[in-house]
Chain A
């Protein structure tokens, strides 16, 4: 279930090139697509707006870092028409009361429709299930202990079993904590040279394999979040081939960067899971291309300036991403020919919508308008003052990108451009 500010619908017309090359003029009336008519040539691309299954809105508890208002404004600027917020807030979204208060706030503040995940375990402690049925009834979009793994295999199995009554997916942060320990960077030559505590790939892939085994045994679907390692991709591909209903997501930073980027010890390149080796990055790009991984997710993780202005080892994990995801992936993957634009647009919109059971944004007469207009040739520099997010811990600060979100229409309203 998605929540958005109550109010109005827009009427407007957007012109652009659809996938396939046809130039059209799309007329939106009262929030719905009323007409799609042929138009003259256009340099802009018109596509279904994006869906982000993994955003941290930091509300409640850290409204200094992000609010529902600022996070959805950032989503609007990034071309999104729907986002899902993670429940690792303070307090944790582990009761219907917290969820209902978030939904009420979203009806006041959310510029773009937002769904809220509830936690799998009470307080993210990993030992007691939340009241999942009640949470689902209150509108939980899915269940996740993101930021932490469900450490106990027995607990994970119960969550898969009981979760069946909710009709919602479990979204899993896969990390075997006794292998990741206090890991700060991918275990490999870069961490060895920098002396950063190593966080090996197998800390992720061992947990991915465990969770896929449990999902297969229980015959239940699951969603794997922010995959980073080649071995995880291989395990996922094999499980899908065996018929396990597993979806997965990958972040722009894991698709664009490797652990080489950590050499400068910039805290804005510190995230969990860490940036990995080139072979991992290639495996992620291949998986996104062939559909093994069907979603791009930003894992937008705002952090306050003072927390990130620390030595690398003292800084928290996480980077922002909503406002730069499309431009980064267009610049780093589409322009060099590693991924087609068509595939990227699908993996940022229909892919995540399907994986998390959200309505698929479509450009068709009678549909609620969820549109993004993109200028592929516009070059721009990522600067702090342009962010609508309350936080600026972007891995792209100062970067020059090609491709820009010009206009976003979300749930029938022009929210950007």
Chain B
């Protein structure tokens, strides 16, 4: 793997397979590893997060790291400290890894330019969320036993979704087929260039092995922007309900979900929902990623687990 994980574009197919194999081993053995013993992992979360921040924290601990977690609120960021100065300051503690989530695209690259640590992008703006894409691949491989040839329909607010962008790229990397479905204003012009098909009709999910439901990101909707007339109309037309799914069709969601908006609660709680498996994958995959980034010289997970 490259020095940093800033984007899915930093990964090769071999990287993906090695990381998912390592994650599988980590899931079955609860053993703690010493990869990062005596080393520091910085978790910088400039945007709200439950799943991502908690799983990175646990992943670092599983690798015996010391961890330092910082949020924008309560830090010097509130006093107007620039990201560059924040990272120069924290870089003085000589972290082995910096995990960063930031509301602006390009923040992880800036961090990588100003410190010696390996940098992991935990979500920047609407740009990338590569570790989410990897944990989703891991979940899919667990459920289907393969990735090549799978058909995934991604439904919802693609325009504002870093999850969608990263996932489309990752699925294409491993030979899966992707269709994105949503209201026309929420499908970015030019998204086909990533190698996916697009549709505005829910009929398009019919052939998919998996329906990946995106959060309807109300906090990113500009007031009066009119991407959709109302959430009510969105739900009626694009909500994922039992009636719109085939029996056995799997459903995923990156969380946090708006029950009853993009996803019917009956679907969320059905046995075909992989949502909890995604969270579980998150810990194993992020552990594998942290290990892999620092462990070029250290033993592979296969050897130590």
Binding site for B on A (CB under 8 A): 181-182, 184, 187-198, 200, 264-265, 267, 306, 309-314
Known contacts A310-B104, A311-B102; 14 additional CB pairs below 8 A are A193-B165, A193-B193, A194-B105, A195-B127, A196-B126, A197-B126, A200-B189, A265-B105, A265-B109, A309-B84, A310-B83, A310-B84, A311-B107, A312-B104
B82, B109, B194: the one within 8 Å of A192 (CB): B194
Taking the complex as formed, is B190 at the interface, i.e. its CB lies under 8 A from any CB of chain A?
yes
* Residues from chain A with Cβ under 8 Å of B127 in the complex: 194-196, 265
* Residues from chain A with Cβ under 8 Å of B83 in the complex: 310-311, 314
Most buried by A among B102, B106, B127: B106
In the complex, the chain A residue whose C-beta lies closest to that of B114 is A309
A309-B162 Cα distance, complex, nearest whole Å: 23
Taking the complex as formed, is B188 at the interface, i.e. its CB lies under 8 A from any CB of chain A?
yes
**Count of A-B residue pairs with CB < 8 Å:** 87
A197-B106 Cα distance, complex, nearest whole Å: 13
**Given A194-B127, A198-B188, A309-B84, are A189 and B193 neighbors across the interface (CB < 8 Å)?**
yes
Binding site for A on B (CB under 8 A): 82-84, 102-107, 109-110, 124-128, 160-162, 165, 169, 188-194, 222, 225
Q: 18 interchain pairs (CB within 8 A)?
A: A187-B188, A192-B188, A192-B191, A192-B194, A195-B127, A195-B161, A196-B126, A196-B127, A264-B109, A306-B82, A309-B82, A310-B84, A311-B102, A311-B104, A311-B107, A312-B104, A313-B106, A313-B125
A314-B161 Cα distance, complex, nearest whole Å: 18
A192, A193, A309, A311: the one within 8 Å of B124 (CB): A311
A313-B128 Cα distance, complex, nearest whole Å: 13
| Contact (Cβ within 8 A) A313 B104 | yes
A191-B127 Cα distance, complex, nearest whole Å: 9
* Residues from chain B with Cβ under 8 Å of A182 in the complex: 222
Q: How far is the CB of B8 from chain A (nearest CB, A)?
A: 10
A200-B189 Cα distance, complex, nearest whole Å: 10
* Residues from chain A with Cβ under 8 Å of B106 in the complex: 265, 267, 311-314
**Given A195-B105, A196-B105, A311-B106, are A188 and B190 neighbors across the interface (CB < 8 Å)?**
yes
Q: How far is the CB of A129 from chain B (nearest CB, A)?
A: 29
* Residues from chain B with Cβ under 8 Å of A184 in the complex: 105
* Residues from chain B with Cβ under 8 Å of A195 in the complex: 105, 125-128, 160-162, 165
